[in-house]
Chains A and B, each alone.
Chain A
C-alpha cells in the first residue's frame, strides 16, 4: 500500500510523467493545491522551472493555448485551481477540445489534461464550491478521471496522458491530506484504467462512490458494518469511461443500491448510474437511493452549507434506508 497522502501522490505522479516525457508541461503555475495548499506544487516548479508556466488571470486564453499546444506537439497539464474558474474557459474546454478528434476524422489529437479542485470545501459560497463533473459527462469527447486514493493518483495520470484524449481531472479540495485505507489493487492485481474498483467487498448493499464520496462512503461502510450491514463500496475512478458493468454486477448481487455523489441531484453523476441500473433491469429489493447535494446553490453560512453536503452521516442514513 502507498505510504503517501493523496496530495503528495498526485505531485509525485505529475513529476514522474514530466521526467518520462519532456513534452509534458504545466500551464497555470502548478496550482494543484489551491489556496489552502499553495505550496503543494512547489517541487514541480523547482524540478522543472522552464516547464511550468504561471499565467495571468485568463482562463479562456490559457486553456485555449493548451489546446493549441497539445495539437501541435506538447502535452500540457493545465491547473485551473478552484474548479469554478473553469466556467471562464468553457468555450475551449466544451466546444473546442472535445470535438477536434472527431471533426478531423481522427487526424488531429488534443493530448492535454485540465486539473480542477472541485467540491464543497466549506465557506466557498456559491462561486467556490462547484462540482462540474456531470456537465463534462454531457460532453462527448472528454475523458474524465477522478482518483480518490493516493495509489490511484499515482497510477492514473500516466495512462490518461498516454490516451492522448483531452482529459479533465476531477480532484477535490478536501482530498489533499487523505491517505485512504485500502488500495485500488485487489489481491495484488492493479485495477485497469477505466475500470471501477471494489474498495470493500460486501454482500448486503452496493454503495457507488467516486472522489470524495469514496472517502466518506468507506467510513460510512465501517459504521454500517458495526450495525450488521455489510456494504460493498464501488469506486468509479473514471467518469468517462464509465464502468457500468462493475456497478451492474455488484448491484445485481446485493440487490440494494446507494449512490453517493457531490453533484446537485438533477442530472448528476448518480442520475446516470441510476438510469443504467434501471435500464439493465437490475432487480432491486428496495428502491435505490441517491445521496447528492440538493438542487440548491451553495450558501456561505455554515449551518446552511452543512445541511446540503452529502456527508458520511447522510450516506450512512441512506444505507440504512435501503435495508
Chain B
C-alpha cells in the first residue's frame, strides 16, 4: 500500500494542474489569432490530474511518451511553459525549435524523446524504450500516456503482447476521456466509431498484464497507481495497464474561476468532473489551507503564464533556411 499524497504534495499537484489549465486556456484564447499556426489544438483540460499524478510518481530517468494531446504531459514533466508555448507557435525557442508544433510536442531534454501525432504511433516505440531498460539492466520505467482511441488500432495489440511476453518495464496509461461511453463527444474527429468493449482493463488482463482503473480526475488515485506500476516495472515485474477515466471537457467555457471550487460552478461538468476544482475544493476543506492561499497560488501561476505568453510571442521564428538543417543527404 502506497502512502497517500501528503498535503504539500497535493499542493504541488495543484500547482502543476493549475499551470496546465492556465496554459490550455491561453492556447484556447489565442488559437484563432492569425499568428497561431494551424488554428487547432488538442487541449488537456479535464485531464490535468492524470498528467500531474503520473509525473509526480516518476523519476527523471524514466522515459515518457505521449500523443497529439501532449501539452499537459510535457508541462507536468517540468517543461517551461514559455518554451512549450513557443513550440506551439513555431518559434525557435521551442523545445524542438518549432519543428514539432502542437501535434508533436515533446522535450528530449526531459526524457520525452519524441512524439508521434499518429494514433498508436508512439506505443511500440515506448515498448522499445522499455526493452532498452531491460536489456541494459537499467532501473527505469518507460511510460506511455495514450488515449482510449489507441485501443482501436491493431498496433495496440501487437505492442502490449510484446511488452507482456518479454516482461518489459512499461507503464501503459490509457487516458479514457470518453468515460462513460454514453458521454462520447460527437465532435470527435471523423465520426469516431469507438471500441466494442467497455472493459478496457479486461483487455490488458487477457494479455497477462496487471490492470487497474482509476478516477483520472483524482490526482491521488492516479499517483498511487503509478507508484505501484513503477515499482513493478523497476523490480522486474513487467508491464502495468492503468485506465485513467475522465469525462471530456465540453469546451467553450472560458477561463476557470478558482473560487468556483467553493462557490457556484457554472456547469455540471465543473461540479463533477473538473479535476482542478475538485482538488482545490479538497484543499480548501482541509484545516491547513485557506481560500486566500489558493487564490494566491492561482495568481502566481497566472502571472507565470502571462510571462510565458510574452516570451513565446517575442521569440523569433527559425529562419526559412533552417528548414534544411538536420536533413541527411
Contact = CB atoms under 8 A, between A and B. Distances in A.
A300 B116 contact: no
A308 B323 contact: yes
Contacts of A35: 40, 189
A58 B323 contact: no
Interface string B102-123: 0110000000000011111100
Contact of A125 (B92, B99, B119, B318): B99
A44 to B, nearest CB: 12
Contacts of B190: 28-29, 31, 54-55, 57, 81
- The interface centre, meaning the residue of A28, A57, A295, A304 with most chain B CB atoms within 10 A of its CB, is A57
A122 interface: yes
Nearest to A61: B154
B153 A58 contact: yes
A125 B324 contact: no
Interface residues of B, number: 42
Contact of B149 (A57, A88, A299, A305): A57
- The interface centre, meaning the residue of B37, B190, B195, B317 with most chain A CB atoms within 10 A of its CB, is B190
Interface residues of A, number: 39
B118 A54 contact: no
Interface string A141-181: 00000000000000000000000000000000000000000
Contact of A56 (B101, B118, B192): B192
A88 B123 CA distance: 14
Interface in A283-315: 294-297, 299-308
B219 to A, nearest CB: 28
A32 to B, nearest CB: 11
A124 interface: yes
A321 B99 CA distance: 31
A306 B37 CA distance: 12
A164 to B, nearest CB: 27
A300 B327 contact: no
A122 B327 contact: no
B193 A126 contact: no
Contacts of B98: 299-301, 304
B33 interface: no
B91 interface: yes
Query: What is the predominant secondary structure among interface residues of chain B facing chain A?
Result: loop
B100 interface: yes
Contact of B100 (A28, A84, A300): A300
- The interface centre, meaning the residue of A81, A85, A300 with most chain B CB atoms within 10 A of its CB, is A300
A123 B38 contact: yes
B319 interface: yes
Contact of A54 (B37, B192, B318, B320): B192
A81 B118 CA distance: 13
A125 B98 CA distance: 10
B28 interface: no
A265 interface: no
A100 interface: no
B323 A128 contact: no
Contacts of A108: none
B90 interface: yes
Given A56-B195, A57-B119, A127 B319 contact: no
Contacts of B104: 125-127, 300
A294 B195 CA distance: 40
B189 to A, nearest CB: 6
B191 interface: yes
Interface string A104-135: 00000000000000000011111110000000
A128 B104 CA distance: 11
B40 A301 contact: no
A40 interface: no
Nearest to B39: A123
Interface string B131-169: 000000000000000000110111100000000000000
A300 B99 contact: yes
Contacts of B152: 56-58
Nearest to A35: B189
A301 B323 CA distance: 9
B319 to A, nearest CB: 6
Instruction: List the 8 shortest-distance A-B pairs measured between CB atoms, nearest first.
Output: A123-B38, A300-B101, A301-B98, A29-B191, A301-B90, A56-B152, A54-B191, A123-B37
Interface of B: 37-40, 90-92, 97-101, 103-104, 116-121, 149-150, 152-155, 189-195, 317-324, 327
Given A85-B118, A124-B38, 5 more contacts: A55-B193, A88-B153, A125-B99, A125-B103, A300-B90
21 contacts: A54-B192, A56-B149, A57-B119, A57-B120, A57-B152, A88-B153, A126-B99, A127-B116, A127-B117, A295-B327, A296-B324, A296-B327, A300-B37, A300-B100, A300-B104, A301-B317, A302-B37, A303-B323, A304-B98, A304-B323, A308-B323
